[in-house]
Amino acid sequence: MCGLAGWIAAADTAPDEKVLHDMLDSIEHRGPDGQGSSFKPSANAGHQVALGHRRLAIIDPHGAPQPMHDDAVGLTLVFNGEIYNFRELRRKLTEFGYRFERDSDTEVLLRAYRHWGPAVVDHLRGMFAFAIWDARFDRLLLARDRFGEKPLFLHQHKGDLYFASEIKALLQHPRIRADVDKSAVWDYLAYRYVPAPATLFRGIRKLMPGTTLLWERGEISERRYWSSADRLPVPHGHRGGSAVTRFLEHLDESVQLQMVSDVPYGAFRSGGLDSSTIVALMRRHSDEVRTFSVGFGDSNYSELPYANEVASALGTRHHEIVVSEQHLMDSLPSLVRFRDAPVSEPSDIPIHLLACEAAKSVKMVLTGEGSDELLGGYPKHLAENMVGGWQRIPGVLREQVFAPLVDALPYRYRRAKTALTNLNIADNRERYVRWFGALSVAERKALTRLSLGEDHFAGEQFATDPTISPLRRILHFDQSSWLPDNLLERTDRMTMAASIEARVPFLDYRLAEFVASLPDRYRVRGRTSKWILRKAAEQLIPRSILQRPKVGFRVPVNDWFRGPMRDYLLDHLQSPQSLTRDYFDS
């Protein structure tokens, strides 16, 4: 896990070396273990190539400095992430005649590119963002992993291209301005994040997950090499053994691959099914696993008792912290800086504090992130199975009879109110956004000083075959937008801010493709979510955890905003110094 930055720009307008060093300094937290840079001319196109790297050493910590070169053929690589199947690839490449000097996934990636060229991404299992300069063809290749676990941001100016792991690095360039894109603010209020490829900054965009970008002699092209298998109808004729057994074999293989590390590692633990299963599988392959949990003073929100129960059952070395509203107030400004965006997920704060605690004893953790989006773990996934039946009820009954009854329900039934309200929304694009408490078009108009975007759906690129099931449609949206642009971005920023690496075994693409090959009932069955995971975990974790309702990293911000944080909140929204006055009706 590292950070990278660089550019390919016309030689007469390219920045000086200090700009690259400023870019790297701004993301030092991503790689405190080392720094390197490389400047090369583009022989035929009259451009300068700059590649910079900050290193967090996980594999081969005393070797494999970056940028890494293969001078025999004119290759230079900077790489952020981990290639989990690098030893398998090294064996294959050795058979092809390549020689290796290190036990390093970076060197394997460099040789693999030499062999397969831009198609190298099709052979990789891992999380990654990388840049390779190929002097033979005056070619720069940028690539991002399939689910978008690792970030890569871009700025284009005419034929010049700048890139970095975080937006703050791009803003070190004197010509790249921190101008807010107001249409992105409008989208942010709908999604609680900015859907790719946009960002909140005008002129800065994300490279899409599962995508490569090729700069070749001044021309830029992009290729989507992978996208969620849930975008297609489920294949017919799935056969061969128990699906539950095969699912557990895939997940166990992913956990074992992602435990490869030359430094101490552990796992983030809630008291829930996802992380408990990951830890149980880790214990199959290690005599000692450190686990880390976070809780709150309010027992209604704290999962620490359940986390302790699992830690005791599985025999882990357990660490825990308790978070208060003071932590939120103290941490929020720095976390906004690390996020390069407003923090819309309250769980950013406990995750970052948990990462800081873990960093005292480990440099890498495994997490249960991605399980819900892969396996159908949210209440909305249960509700989406009812969309067709509900919308066949005559509209007059839904709007004049059921709607008033739902509106009259007290606050404690808010989940049911949200579900029934959203089931009335016929447009999938709008409904998917509203499941997470987004503001409607009317609410955005009333709240903001903005007047744009009302007919715009930033997630239209995630549309699917209309013949596939409602469950697969919403899972494809979750895996293509909600997950990379919000949850994985959160995981990356909050852990890298503490200089530790987070790995996500549920998002191994082979596991995802296997799950997508199964009928819907293996994920959602009646009122049971993540059915196949629950069946697989019966032999791994205590029954009390299997039967618990989903909680996640719930933070009691409602209580805090009404109580000890009320003045803090109102000061940010309504004081004369408030920076939100340009956007909102205070």
Query: Which residue blocks in 62-166 are alpha helix, DSSP H?
Result: 86-95, 105-116
Cα-based torsion angle of the residue sequence 64, 67, 68, 70 in order, rounded to the nearest 10 degrees: -170
DSSP for residue 180: B
Q: Are 346 and 318 in contact (CB under 8 A)?
A: no
d(CA 384, CA 398): 17
Please list, in sequence order, all residues whose beta carbon lies within 8 angstroms of the beta carbon of residue 255, skipping any fewer than 6 positions away. 278, 281, 282, 284, 285, 366, 505
89 vs 515: CA distance, rounded Å: 25
**Minimal CA–CA distance to 186: which of 534, 583, 573?**
583
CA–CA distance, 334 with 340 (Å, rounded to integer): 10
Q: What are phi and psi of 422, to 5 degrees?
A: -70, -35
* CA-to-CA dists, residue 281 to 240, 285, 292, 437, 468, angstroms: 23, 7, 16, 34, 33
Residue 2 annotated in active site? yes
Q: Are 39 and 53 in contact (CB under 8 A)?
A: no
Contacts with 48 (C-beta within 8 Å, 6 or more apart), sequence order: 7, 8, 9, 10, 11, 14, 39, 40, 41, 42
Cis amide prior to 197 (ω within 30 degrees)? yes
The angle formed by the CA atoms of residues 351, 329 and 182, to the nearest 5 degrees, is 85
Say how far apart CA 496 and CA 502 lie, in whole Å: 8
Taken in order 95, 97, 98, 103, the sign of the CA dihedral is: positive
CB-CB contact of 52 with 20 (8 Å): yes
Rounded to whole angstroms, how far apart are CA atoms 74 and 40? 10
Cα 8 to Cα 61: distance, rounded to the nearest angstrom: 29
Cβ burial of 203 (10 Å; 0-12, 13-18, 19+) is middle
Helix, strand, coil % in the chain, rounded to nearest 5: 45, 20, 40
Radius of gyration of the chain (CA): 24
Report the candidate in 282, 289, 288 with the shortest Cα–Cα distance to residue 266: 289
Which of 1, 2, 110, 545 is labelled catalytic? 2
Residues 6 or more apart whose CB falls under 8 angstroms from that of 286 comprise 259
The pair of structure tokens assigned to 24 is 């790297």
Are 96 and 115 a contacting pair, CB within 8 Å?
A: yes
Rounded to whole angstroms, how far apart are CA atoms 491 and 493?
A: 6
Residues marked active site are found at 2
